[in-house]
Amino acid sequence: LRHFSPIGFWGLVNNAGISTFGETGWLSMEKYEKFADVNLLGSIRTTLAFLPLLRKYKGRIVFMSSIIAYFSLGNGIYSMTKAAIEKFCDALRLEMNKFGVRVCIIQPGNYARSTKIQPPVSAEEIWNELSEEEKAVYNKEYIQERANFFNRILSEGSTNGNEVVDAMVDALTSPAPKARYMVAKLKEKALVFVCALFPTVVMDSVLSYSLSK
């Protein structure tokens, strides 16, 4: 309140996020709780704290989601939190409309090289953290293949992080902001289109093919 400008409190950007790689059984319950706390509950806590001011000044709330909210390629724990953010925003957007508060979602594609949100994956570290039960199911060769696949995805990430920032700025300043800003390559948008509109069996086939390459 001490740092308010004459226009009051205008915009809140929920940008905090962490990412990791691993199939479902490879990750501990503690890691699931940490990701939910940072990626989902952190945004909710901050939003609730500032909601009275945002309603008072008819401001903007911007959430950082991801196209990964629509599908997963080895980082289901991240996808889970982003999908939850999307649903939280959908409810919040409808509720805030009557107060003149706009809620916007940014959905970046692969910008791993810009944000460094995900360091390169080490197959050895993954193997060492697996439980004995998981080691009995998987072998080191499989872990290495998955790690190589995910590291290749990371290496293909865009370095033009300013594209995402531009979308955030537009969401905060435009007289008519979009509900969703998808900032992604054409092939990434096409994959989202398939996942959102085609039957699940088609989506699973496309993703299974991608994982096998």
Q: What integer pLDDT is reported at residue 72 of this predicted model?
A: 86
Q: What integer pLDDT is reported at residue 8 of this predicted model?
A: 85
Q: What are the per-10-residue average pLDDT scores of the chain (213 residues)?
A: 81 92 90 95 96 94 95 88 97 97 96 85 89 90 89 88 96 96 94 88 84 69
Q: What integer pLDDT is reported at residue 196 of this predicted model?
A: 86
Q: Where are the domains of the chain?
A: 11-117+159-207
Q: What integer pLDDT is reported at residue 173 of this predicted model?
A: 96
SS (H, E, C) the chain: CCCCECCECCEEEECCCCCCCCCHHHCCHHHHHHHHHHHHHHHHHHHHHHHHHHHHHCCEEEEECCHHHCCCCCCHHHHHHHHHHHHHHHHHHHHHHHHCCEEEEEEECCCHHHHCCCCCCCHHHHHHHCCHHHHHHCCHHHHHHHHHHHHHHHHCCCCCCHHHHHHHHHHHHCCCCCCEEEECCHHHHHHHHHHHHCCHHHHHHHHHHHHHC
How is domain 11-117+159-207 classified at the architecture level of CATH?
3-Layer(aba) Sandwich (3.40)
Which one is catalytic: 32, 57, 70, 78?
78
Chain centre distance of CA 74:
14
Q: What integer pLDDT is reported at residue 155 of this predicted model?
A: 87
138 is catalytic: no
Residues 40 and 42: their CA atoms lie apart, in Å, by: 5
Phi/psi for 168 (5° steps) reads -65, -45
Q: What integer pLDDT is reported at residue 207 of this predicted model?
A: 82
